[in-house]
Structure 1
Amino acid sequence: MLRIGFALLGLLVSSLGYAAQSSSMSLLDNRFRVDPSIKQITFVIYRAQNSQPVVLVRPDGRKYYSHRSPENVRWYQESSMDIISIDNPMPGPWQAIGKVTPKNKIKLISHLKLSADALPERLFQDEEIKFTARLTSDGQPLVLRDFLDRVKLKVTFTKFIENEASLIKEARPVPVEIGEFADDGQGLDERAGDGVFTVKLPISPQPGKYRVRITSGNGVFLRAQEQEVLVYPNPIELAFIQSRQEDQAHQIIFSGEQGMIQPGSLAAHIEHTDAQREMIAVEGAAATKEAMKVALSVPYSGVIGEYSWSGELFATELGSGRELMFPLTQYTYSVVKDIDLAETRRLQEQEREKQLKLLEERRILEAREAQRTKSIVLIAISNVVIIVVGLVAWFVMRKLKAKRAAIPEMQLEMPKK
């Protein structure tokens, strides 16, 4: 569906800067004439359900197809509809060939324009702002439901880099989409089909400088608005003080940053849900014109379980006087049984003694293992020494025996008579 919306918007905004007379006519025998003064034409053709897209035939006989057409033709199709936009169409008689229904009409649109609110140059991280864009024709709201029901816009933040266009594609920062909106009467959009698109934009990017764009796709990169903005850190600090006593309430305290938030402008509304899923609303505002804090008290309940709260914080920017709204996402906390300090200390001491005992047993085992390893090493060394001594003795004995065998026996010579 997002691709559909982008395709439609590509058709719509492609005619920016062109002028043509605004009219609506039925096609006779699927034929229509384009006047030479027309610089851009956008029309819708209804056809039989699940039929093939029509074929457009120019006055000179050249044919345009949904899957094959020149760059000046943008074509969006559904199962029973074709919406086609042509820049600088050839004057003369055109023809649409296909299973066209009697509902077929052509709508010429002139001075089509997409305008949008200018964002504040200074934004704060985590704030939400109401943002509006408008489609007009001849200065009047465009109320063609066949278009508006299919158009979606998106707002993107891109990290600011000097000379971004000179960088290779891989080095350029990636746009981050922070909002998508349609003229559907949902959310902050007040009325469906009135040509006015409204969305609640969450300023989620990290602090820094950004390029902001309203964009749409389908090969046509629309920049209906582009501006540079600075995102500052959140100027609100939040503190939650949980009570442990029945006669003392929980405290939720909001503090504004000096120099950023106008004194006395803080106000907050929260919805608190207890462990039994019962909800109460708590509201409050700064007590004085100079106050930079607002504190809300939430009744204490001794019921054990999970609690949560969420809401909104309102403030005024000091420098510009701009009204700020910060959504408070869901926060949770728990209520548990009262702690018996004496029993807790006893259990902690018991656990400590257990751990010491385990450590001592482990030390003894390690010492025994070390002694056993040492004994095995000594035995092994002794055996090696004995074997070596035995081999040396055997070798020496063998050498001595060999030496004795080599000496001839002494012969006694008797004197001759």
Structure 2
Amino acid sequence: MRRLALLSTLIPALLGAQSASAASWLDNRFRVDPTIKQVAFVVERETKNQNVVLVRPDGVKYYPWRHPDNVAWHEEAGMDIITIENPMPGPWQAVGKVSTKNQVKVLSNLKLDVATLPERFYQTETYKFTARLTQDDQLLTDRDFLDRVKMSVYFYEYVDDPEALAEDALPTPLKLGEFSDDGLELDEAPGDGVFTVALPIEIQPGRYRVKMTSGNGIFLRTYEQEVMVYPPPLLPSFIQARNTEENHTLVVTSDEGMIQPGSLSVHLDQEAPDGSVTVSQEQAAPDATRLEASVPNLLNPGSYAWSGWLYATDTYQQRALVFPMQKSHFAITSVLHLDKNLAEYRAQQEEKARLEEEKRRLEAQLAARSQTWNMILGGNAVIVLLAAVWVFLRRRRHRSAASEQDEPRLEIPPDMKV
């Protein structure tokens, strides 16, 4: 890792014009003085796809794929850049189809200064992060080198002792940004030696370990820090207008105590169906942590989109916060009949409710009527049954009386005289 960082610091000066500290190769040889502590060889090849072999004064050979830890080897098409820390004094030689444009240069006092990250991040925010490459405390501005540097920022979920874990058990790195010195996005000027990355904190809240590495092998683990990621303190809500007389509204609320009162502001871009963009901006009142921004109602039917930025200052670090609002869409299908459509919808809902209430009332009436009929039929059945019993008993009584009349009566004859 140390040798790779060394390589990153030596390449810029190697790619510039020759100077008093640079010397050309003589028969592919260069003598290293015993006082030299760091040396870098730039070897341009005549054949792009064939590497050179670097031979040490004692005959030991170095290859791109095999060399000691104090050697860093960076390969490009037609070029090898080799840096050595504490090189062996004596004549070194490059073996291969070597161009005549080779040079060697001794460099010192090169530093990579990285800005300290804040202790607390917020989910969905975008953070501007910078690093500076200096030589003798002056910004290095060699464009040939700066254009080759590709540094990336990775977030790792925090673990207490990562060295004790197996490789497959280590947290998966999350790449959140890549440094550049091209004058684009958040980078202020191209080729000024200041590398800038826009970190989008699109990760879950939690504790993380941050590492800065190089995608092309020039830098490796040049920076490391622990940070915390908290939930976003701001919540934007877009409310579409319901009629032609109203504007749309963007409402932004914040968590209590997280945002300084009066620091909240918004920039919103509304894109119309024809591609035109309307800008809306609003600043919160001095004592407010909530904001309502009026967005023009453009009325024309079609598909619309809105996006923008939220700006605030947090109360914990007094740090300026920037939150992008990703593009969202809404549609107006018939602008001239918004009121009519809304009235028709409400009327339909009211009619539906009335019909349901009427249906419920009729069902209740039918249920009550059915119950009444059941009671009537039940009562009539009882009456018929009682009448049948009464008739049965009466007939039985009459039959008993008739039987008694039909039976012969025994009469006692009068006393007979003898």
TM-score tier by shorter-chain length is 0.7 to 0.9
Structure 2 counterpart SS, 1:334: strand
**2:16 is the alignment partner of 1:11:** no
Per-residue deviation, residues 105-158 of structure 1 (Å, max 9, x unmatched): 112222332221111101111111110012223333334444322221111111
Change in 2 beyond 3 A, CA 1:35/1:145 = farther
Q: What is the match of residue 399 of structure 1?
A: none
Give distance in 2, aligned partners of 1:218 and 1:263.
Answer: 45
Which one has a bigger Cα radius of gyration?
A: 2
In structure 1, give the amino acid aligned to 2:289: M
Any stretches of 5+ residues in structure 2 without a counterpart? 12-19, 357-418
Change in 2 beyond 3 A, CA 1:25/1:159 = same
Shift, 1:177, TM fit? 0.8
Q: What is the match of residue 159 of structure 2?
A: 161
The correspondence for 1:190, drawn from 184, 188, 191, is 188
Change in 2 beyond 3 A, CA 1:121/1:115 = same
Give distance in 1, aligned partners of 2:183 and 2:267.
Answer: 25
Contact persistence 2:5–2:218 (CA under 8 A): no
Please identify, of 311-320 and 33-42, the stretch whose mean Cα deviation from structure 2 is larger.
33-42
Q: What is the match of residue 97 of structure 2?
A: 99
Change in 2 beyond 3 A, CA 1:99/1:109 = same
Shift, 1:91, TM fit? 0.6
Q: What is the match of residue 229 of structure 1?
A: 227
Change in 2 beyond 3 A, CA 1:146/1:57 = farther
Change in 2 beyond 3 A, CA 1:158/1:329 = same
Matches within 5 A, 1:373-392: none
Give distance in 1, aligned partners of 2:118 and 2:138.
Answer: 26
Shift, 1:342, TM fit? 5.0
Give distance in 2, aligned partners of 1:197 and 1:125.
Answer: 23
Q: What is the match of residue 294 of structure 2?
A: 297
Q: What is the match of residue 316 of structure 1?
A: 313
Q: What is the match of residue 54 of structure 1?
A: 52
Change in 2 beyond 3 A, CA 1:191/1:106 = farther
The correspondence for 1:108, drawn from 88, 106, 118, is 106
Matches within 5 A, 1:210-249: 210-216=208-214, 222-249=220-247
Structure 2 counterpart SS, 1:170: helix
Matches within 5 A, 1:28-177: 28-48=26-46, 50=48, 52-177=50-175
Shift, 1:179, TM fit? 0.6
Shift, 1:9, TM fit? 6.0
Give distance in 2, aligned partners of 1:91 and 1:285.
Answer: 67
In structure 1, give the amino acid aligned to 2:317: S
Give distance in 1, aligned partners of 2:158 and 2:106.
Answer: 39
Shift, 1:163, TM fit? 2.1
Per-residue deviation, residues 243-284 of structure 1 (Å, max 9, x unmatched): 121111000111222211000011111111112222111111
Give distance in 2, aligned partners of 1:92 and 1:295.
Answer: 74
Matched residues, number = 340
Any stretches of 5+ residues in structure 1 without a counterpart? 1-6, 16-21, 354-417
Q: What is the match of residue 205 of structure 1?
A: 203
In structure 1, give the amino acid aligned to 2:312: A
Give distance in 2, aligned partners of 1:129 and 1:342.
Answer: 49
Shift, 1:95, TM fit? 1.7
The correspondence for 2:303, drawn from 280, 301, 306, is 306
Structure 1 counterpart SS, 2:179: strand
Give distance in 2, aligned partners of 1:67 and 1:123.
Answer: 40
Change in 2 beyond 3 A, CA 1:239/1:218 = closer
Give distance in 1, aligned partners of 2:343 and 2:291.
Answer: 35
Per-residue deviation, residues 184-212 of structure 1 (Å, max 9, x unmatched): 33322233333321111111111111111
Give distance in 1, aligned partners of 2:133 and 2:218.
Answer: 17
Give distance in 2, aligned partners of 1:317 and 1:9.
Answer: 36
Q: Give TM-score scaled by structure 2 length.
A: 0.73
Structure 2 counterpart SS, 1:295: strand
**CA RMSD between the two structures:** 3.0
Contact persistence 1:8–1:147 (CA under 8 A): no
Per-residue deviation, residues 356-376 of structure 1 (Å, max 9, x unmatched): xxxxxxxxxxxxxxxxxxxxx
Contact persistence 2:236–2:251 (CA under 8 A): yes
Contact persistence 1:115–1:224 (CA under 8 A): no
Contact persistence 2:149–2:216 (CA under 8 A): no
Shift, 1:67, TM fit? 3.6
The correspondence for 2:331, drawn from 331, 334, 338, is 334
Give distance in 2, aligned partners of 1:79 and 1:221.
Answer: 19
Give distance in 1, aligned partners of 2:241 and 2:218.
Answer: 58
Change in 2 beyond 3 A, CA 1:213/1:312 = same
Shift, 1:220, TM fit? 8.8
Matches within 5 A, 1:255-294: 255-287=253-285, 289-294=286-291
Give distance in 1, aligned partners of 2:184 and 2:93.
Answer: 39
Please identify, of 229-238 and 77-86, the stretch whose mean Cα deviation from structure 2 is larger.
77-86
In structure 1, give the amino acid aligned to 2:53: V
Shift, 1:11, TM fit? 2.7
Change in 2 beyond 3 A, CA 1:79/1:171 = closer
Structure 2 counterpart SS, 1:182: coil
